Chain A
């Protein structure tokens, strides 16, 4: 069964600290993996898109990694800011039937 599991469910860190969010998937065949940031009351905004051949992709202070062998991805946030407080959603697209499978998200809170 195609699934995307994210951890932790929620995370609280102090401003300026780094953090890493995890995404494990069982989607097969794999097409691509996306990380989205969703601010409260807003629509998700794409951070990164990675295909099978990409191991790392950065977008400013956000760095996503992908290990296609272990079917794991991580999103690392460096020097967190208050504006990083949001939900981060991992989304995996399957090849073949083109299904899109969503994780439940990690709720990140940055404290001053």
Chain B
């Protein structure tokens, strides 16, 4: 398996533009997580899906952020409109089981987003 695949690896966009980040989890995994990482705040969980259903979106910063998981093999994180303070590395991770189980989460390589 190729692991968790994220695209693009790097994204530079102008303030106000829409940004869509994509994630393909590991085949067979039923939990998917979107994280954001900055120097100041470290890693933050944005949203958690289990069996394609959003279970916990309490980490989503504001209405400009939305995430979807239309099927077990694909998820998107959208920011509209983007702002400079959204600049960060966004990670997608997947695991087998639920967030409650003690299973390993596998992370993608991340998407480095720069909003200018």
Which residues of B in the span 95-113 have a Cβ within 8 Å of any Cβ on A?
98-100, 102-110
Total interface residues in chain B, CB < 8 Å: 20
**Could you tell me if A43 and B110 are in contact, using CB atoms closer than 8 angstroms?**
yes
**Could you tell me if B42 and A42 are in contact, using CB atoms closer than 8 angstroms?**
no
Q: How many A-B residue pairs have CB under 8 A?
A: 45
28 contacts across the A-B interface (CB closer than 8 A) = A31-B102, A32-B102, A41-B110, A42-B110, A43-B4, A43-B91, A43-B107, A43-B108, A43-B109, A43-B110, A44-B43, A44-B107, A45-B107, A46-B104, A46-B106, A49-B102, A49-B103, A51-B102, A89-B42, A91-B43, A93-B100, A95-B100, A98-B98, A98-B99, A102-B44, A102-B45, A103-B42, A104-B42
A residues at B contact (CB < 8 Å): 31-32, 41-46, 49, 51, 89, 91, 93, 95, 98, 100, 102-105
